[in-house]
Amino acid sequence: QVQLQESGPGLVKPSETLSLTCTLSGGSISNYYWTWIRQPPGKGLEWIGYVYYTGSTNYSPSLKSRVTMLIDTSKNQFSLKLSSVTAADTAVYYCARADYGSGSYYMDVWGKGTTVTVSS
Amino acid sequence: SSELTQDPAVSVALGQTVRITCQGDSLRSYYASWYQQKPGQAPVLVIYGKNNRPSGIPVRFSGSSSGNTASLAITGAQAEDEADYYCNSRDSSGNHWVFGGGTKLTVL
């Protein structure tokens, strides 16, 4: 079945760049919106943005100045870079597959999540 | 604060029906999707579109929408339905996505 797996450093220093990769297995990367979501400890979900399989992107306005998302269809991978991180960026980061149907976008496959802590 | 507003907590007696709501101006134009999240786990999609359940989601979960409010109903709540529930839809510009703040459901 379709699976997603996040990978990347669990600890990032303040002011540095957080870099995560999500690897897709068991499915096609085409025709979907590849999405990043995060969840600070004890708080709710926050949509970070998506990269479409064509490479076009859509970022949350609150994070847009610091976010870059890329996709490598040959490797079935997509990535997230978040620059100038602070402690407020400490969270569980999820990658997810999103599609559009029946009048809404929806995220139907999620990775297990990876914890990223920002600390010196 | 989120552009989609949810009650922080709701409770329901075992076997009864509960409705979890999500309010926002964008919901007058766009449907919401709903996610269930249990402690330590990734969210799971339970409802999307007008009222669509992914494969494997029990029929007791249903969705509806009226005006600026989207609702997730659980008819005959079970103990395993105790979880956090999040709505997701477009923001007020219609160009980006946003989550509601989440509702913690307790099954008594």
Cβ-based contacts of A44 with chain B (< 8 Å): 2, 84, 86, 99-102
Whether the per-residue pLDDT at B1 is higher than 70: the answer is no
Contact A103 B97 (CB under 8 A): no
Supply the pLDDT for residue A97. 98
pLDDT digits (tens, 9 = 90+) for A41-98: 999 999 999 999 999 999 999 999 999 999 999 999 999 999 999 999 999 999 999 9
To the nearest 10°, report the CA torsion of A85, A89, A92, A96: -80
Grouping H, G, I as helix, E, B as strand and the rest as coil, residue A13 is coil
Whether the per-residue pLDDT at B84 is higher than 80: the answer is yes
C-alpha–C-alpha distance, residues A47 and B54, integer Å: 21
Q: How would DSSP label each residue in A43-56?
A: S--EEEEEEETTS-
Pair A94, A110: CB distance under 8 Å: yes
Q: Tell me the CA distances in angstroms from B67 to B23, B24, B87, B97, one per residue in order.
A: 9, 9, 16, 19
Using a CB–CB cutoff of 8 Å, tell me whether B100 touches chain A.
yes
Using a CB–CB cutoff of 8 Å, tell me whether A113 touches chain B.
yes
Q: How confident is the model at residue A25 (pLDDT cuts 50, 70, 90)?
A: very high
In this structure, the number of other CB atoms found within 10 A of the CB of residue A79 comes to 20
Pair B6, B100: CB distance under 8 Å: yes
Long-range CB pairs of A52-58 (<8 Å, 24+ gap) are A53/A29, A58/A33, A58/B95, A58/B96, A58/B97
Question: Considering only alpha carbons, which residue of chain A is nearest residue B85?
Answer: A44
Whether the per-residue pLDDT at B65 is higher than 70: the answer is yes
Pair B99, B22: CB distance under 8 Å: no
Q: Six-digit token pair at A70?
A: 């890329």
Contact B45 A106 (CB under 8 A): yes
Higher local confidence (pLDDT), B92 or A119 = A119
Whether the per-residue pLDDT at B2 is higher than 90: the answer is no
Q: Which amino acid is at A36?
A: W
C-alpha–C-alpha distance, residues A44 and A39, integer Å: 6
Mean pLDDT score, A19-34: 97
C-alpha–C-alpha distance, residues B1 and B48, integer Å: 23
**Residue A72 exposure: Cα atoms within 13 Å on the Cβ side:** 9
Supply the pLDDT for residue A11. 98
Question: Considering only alpha carbons, which residue of chain A is nearest residue B29?
Answer: A103
Mean pLDDT score, B26-45: 97
Mean pLDDT of chain A: 97
Using a CB–CB cutoff of 8 Å, tell me whether B95 touches chain A.
yes
Mean pLDDT of chain B: 96
In this structure, the number of other CB atoms found within 10 A of the CB of residue B40 comes to 8
C-alpha–C-alpha distance, residues B73 and B71, integer Å: 6
To the nearest 10°, report the CA torsion of B57, B85, B71, A105: -70
The least confident of A6-10, A62-66, A102-106 is: A102-106
Whether the per-residue pLDDT at B29 is higher than 70: the answer is yes
